[in-house]
Structures are given as C-alpha cells and as structure tokens.
Amino acid sequence: MGASITAYTRIRGQDQTQYPSQHASTNPACFTDLVGTYPVTPLEGVEAACLAAREAFKSWSQVPAPLRGNLIYNLGQLVRENKVTLAQWLTREMGKPSAEALGSVQEVIDTCDFFLGEGRRLYGQTVPSEMGNKKLFTYRRPVGVCGIITAGNFPIAVPAWYVIPALLCGNTIVWKPSEDAPILAYLFCQLVEKAGFPAGVFSMILGDGPTTGAALVSMIPKGLINKIGFTGSTAVGQMIGRVAGEQLQVPCLELGGKNPLLVTEKANLDLALDGAYWSAFGTAGQRCTSLGVLILHDQIYDQFLERLLARVDQMVIGDPTQKVAYGPLISERFLHNLITAQKELIQPHHQVLTRTIGQITRANPWPNFVGDPDVGYFAHPVIVAGVNKTDALYQQETFGPMITVVRYHELEEGLGWANDHGYGLSSAIYTTDPSQAFYFQEHITAGMVSINNSTSGAEAHMPFGGNGYSGNGSRQSGIWVLDQFTRWQSVNWDYADKLQLAQIDTVYQAGDTAFRVPGCG
C-alpha cells in the first residue's frame, strides 16, 4: 500500500487536466490498493497529440543525431537513478515479482545505453558510382510521427524498445501505454520530459485498446501517423496491419507466441528442467516469449515430466514483493481471459497433470501460497497433456501460467510440433549434441532460437521479433530496429557540369562483353 497518483494525458509536456480522471488502476495482488487514477483520452485529445507531434517533427528531425543521443543519455541516467522506485511501482501496478521488475527496468537502461552511442553512428554508406565526377551516398531519414501501442507485461521496457530508437532517429511519438499500467507510464513519461526532449516530441495518451488504441489507429488514414508500432495480440495486430497496409505503411508488429521448448534425449536434464520451469512460469507465463509447447523426446518424457511436476507442485506463488515464483496476473481481464481459455480449450481427451485449473482462492487453494489469494488475480499453474495438432489448445496462444506437453520420437517430428501452430516468435532446444542444435536452428520458423537457455529473456540489443502469427518480420532492438524508424534515402551528387545518364552514358570497358547475351551482337 502507498500513495496513489493521478495520471494525465501529456501533450506538449503538459498535463491535460480537461480530461477528468475517472478510471482506477489497482494493484493486481491486492485490489483494495488504489495505485492511481487516470482519464481516457478522448478522440480530440488523440488528434491533438498527433498534431503536436507533427509540428514538433519539423525541428526535432533537424537536431543533429549526436545531440539527440545526448538526451537518450540523460534519460538512461534518470531511469538508472530511479530504478528501484520504478521497479516498486511496476510490482505494485502489474504484479511482477521484485527481481523481475528490476530486470525489466534494467532493459530500459540497456536500451538507452545502446542508442545513446547510435546517435554518433546512424551510419549511411558511400557507394561507388559507375561514372566519373559523381558521388553516391545513402542516408537514414526519420519516418515522421510514430504511434506506439504497448502491453502491460513489460510496461516500460517494451515501450522503450520503440520509443528510444524512434526518438534517436529523429521521429516524434504518440504513445498509448497499457491501461493496466498507466501510472508507471506517467512516471516514465515524466522522466522522458525531464531528460530534455522538446515539447511535442513525446506525448502520451491513456485508455484501453478498443477506445484509445483504436482512436490512435484511426489517425493513420487521416494522415497524422506515419508509422505504427504495436505489441499485443495477433488478432489486433492483423487489424492494425490492414489499416496501415491500406495507407501503404508497414507497421512494426510484435504479436503472440506459442513458443516451443524441445528437450532431446541428449539434453542435460537438470539444465532443461530449470529452463522449462522458468520459461513456463516466470512472469506467470505472461511474456510473449513464455513457453507454450513443451516437446519431450520419448526416452526422457516420463522422467522429465515427473521431475517438472514435482517442482511445480512445490512452487511458491503469491505476493510479488516476497520471494515467489510468480505473482498475480496483470489484471482481472488477463485472469478472465485465461479462465475462459481453460474452459473453452481444455477438452475431455486432454489430461490436466497439475492440481487444478482456474483462479487460486481460499476455496480453490494453492498449498504454497504467500498472502491472501482472495484479494488478487492469482492463477494455478497448469500443464496439459494429450493435445493433438488440430486442437485449439495447440493452435492458440494462452497467456498465463499454462503449457501443453507433447512427446516426439524423431527430431523432425519434434520440429513439426514446434512449428505447425503457425506462430514463430521464440523457441528453445536443450541438447548436448551440436548436430541436433543446428538441425533445430535451421528448421525452426521462429525469429529467436535459444540453445540450452529459456524461451524468454532476450538481451536488449539482439533482434527481437517473430514470423507467422507472431509478427510481420519486423525486428526491434539493436541496430535492426533502425530499419523500422528510418527510411533509406539515396543521394547522387553529380559535379561533371554536364548531364550524365546512368546506363546510357556509362563508358563500359572492352571486357564487359562477358555479360552480353550470346548471339545478340
């Protein structure tokens, strides 16, 4: 429990107090704890933020990139100084256990550390011309106003993956954070402003996806948004992709996963056990990189599963400020969605191998529970066997502490289980045999592959993103995200003082006949 904060829509560095605060953000581990209140930004506020961003783009895009990088440095320092406080608010508002909360604030710092230097690179190329007295160059040019819509599981880390490179590249931002963490978003927004970004460069609008998110997306056909970035469900990503595609825009989409973790008969089983346990139940399974399908070789299936179930059975769940494997789900909505998925997707031919399904309550208890389950949104850990590829339980992402387990005999068959659901975000293989590891790496469709490590926990400067139902191939983080927030401009500078036409006036050498088609002169 602690003080509560009122969050506001922020446009041009100012609280928009004309939109009254009506909505409550509560602690998912203790819903009597009011973290704060916030207003839903109405359509006119969303438009005002986009117009402010468009105005600010004119000057911001002209600030030299090294100087933009200096502001990223400031932001990184501010987040560093406030790391513990931000992590505490993060735990309180969305329920991530303290160590993970600190880790996810660290991802913001890591991202700043990477991009402050990029301000002094943002390299283009010099390219040889086919004629004399002519020089060719390439430049990265900013895209314009970026609308960013993010989820509640990484309430500032994933936004930072978009916002920091986008700002560094000279774009301006309208950010719609998750309605599950508006207070943390507001605190982050204040740090961005304190770092010195000019008014209008970064605005924040508040509300849920169907209301404020949809309002932001509706700015694309109005011509007020040049690039949209979205982290969330596949269904919403498809909808955003359609709207953006209509305007010939390529969105940056980071969507769901059904991430496989495959354990071969040659795996170090102790290591694989740690990896599977964490991938499945870390963050209560609420990472887009969390484990979806555990794929076990015949030879180790019984032994591995027995050990995993024994460990899960001893799991400590509950108050995220204590030492627990996982805390609550992010909000009531996430709990509701998980319970609905369990009711609809678990069929009579499936076997629930863990104690039970649904919400942890005093009436439906978990033995090693810390705190009072009846005041929060806690879910039982669930492992389901007996799944077929035609089952919706295999084909759909279920966001929460629930996985399915399948067995395989040939590695090719195991890869079928890993790929055939059509998602392709993260994946993992546990083996001591390099030929198995490389076979997996070469045949998996996922954008990210771990060898002897968990499906989740990507480092902040590696390309992050998926294929298939997990995304449109866009990549965040590291140098790769620069392609999302810049467009290549090619420049040719001719100083011959006469018109020189490429291909036509080019003086080819005698030896270039090698490229002529035989029989054509």
Catalog residues that contact ligand UN1 under the rule CB under 6 A.
107, 153-154, 158, 231, 287-289, 456-458
Identity of the residue, 282 or 318, whose beta carbon is nearer to ligand UN1 in the bound complex: 282
Closest C-alpha among 56, 45, 48, 57 to residue 19: 45
Identity of the residue, 354 or 456, whose beta carbon is nearer to ligand UN1 in the bound complex: 456
Q: How far is the CB of 287 from ligand UN1 (least distance, A)?
A: 4
Identity of the residue, 158 or 345, whose beta carbon is nearer to ligand UN1 in the bound complex: 158
Q: How far is the CB of 441 from ligand UN1 (least distance, A)?
A: 18
Amino acid identity of residue 2, one-letter, is G
CA-to-CA separations, 129 to 123, 212, 494, in angstroms, rounded: 19, 49, 10
Q: How far is the CB of 397 from ligand UN1 (least distance, A)?
A: 11
Identity of the residue, 161 or 304, whose beta carbon is nearer to ligand UN1 in the bound complex: 161
Identity of the residue, 287 or 297, whose beta carbon is nearer to ligand UN1 in the bound complex: 287
Q: How far is the CB of 82 from ligand UN1 (least distance, A)?
A: 20
Strands 202-204 and 172-176, sheet pairing: parallel
Distance CA 299, CA 320 (A): 37
Phi-psi region of 144 (alpha: psi -120 to 50; beta: other; left: phi over 0): left
Distance CA 441, CA 433 (A): 13
* Residues 431 and 457: beta-carbon distance below 8 Å: no
Range list of β-strands (E), 123-246? 126-127, 134-142, 145-149, 172-176, 202-204, 227-231
Q: Is 295 helix (H, G, I), strand (E, B) or coil?
A: strand
Distance CA 511, CA 365 (A): 82
Alpha helices in 134-213 (DSSP H): 157-168, 182-194
Structure token digits, residue 216: 């932001």
Identity of the residue, 387 or 458, whose beta carbon is nearer to ligand UN1 in the bound complex: 458
Identity of the residue, 342 or 456, whose beta carbon is nearer to ligand UN1 in the bound complex: 456
3-state SS of 28-73?
CCEEEEEEEEECCCCHHHHHHHHHHHHHHHHHHCCCCHHHHHHHHH
Q: How far is the CB of 234 from ligand UN1 (least distance, A)?
A: 13
Q: What angle do CA 217, 116, 185 make, to 5 degrees?
A: 40
Give me the count of residues in the chain. 521
CA-to-CA separations, 423 to 254, 296, 417, 447, 464, in angstroms, rounded: 11, 19, 11, 10, 14
Q: How far is the CB of 458 from ligand UN1 (least distance, A)?
A: 3
Q: How far is the CB of 329 from ligand UN1 (least distance, A)?
A: 14
Q: How far is the CB of 111 from ligand UN1 (least distance, A)?
A: 11
Identity of the residue, 171 or 477, whose beta carbon is nearer to ligand UN1 in the bound complex: 477
Q: Which residues of 383-418 are buried (b: 16+ CB within 10 A; e: fewer)?
A: bbebbeeebebbbbbbbbbbbbbbbbeebeebbebb
Q: How far is the CB of 457 from ligand UN1 (least distance, A)?
A: 5
Q: Is 11 helix (H, G, I), strand (E, B) or coil?
A: strand
Identity of the residue, 41 or 286, whose beta carbon is nearer to ligand UN1 in the bound complex: 286
Identity of the residue, 171 or 231, whose beta carbon is nearer to ligand UN1 in the bound complex: 231
Q: How far is the CB of 288 from ligand UN1 (least distance, A)?
A: 4
For the chain, what is the radius of gyration of the CA atoms? 25
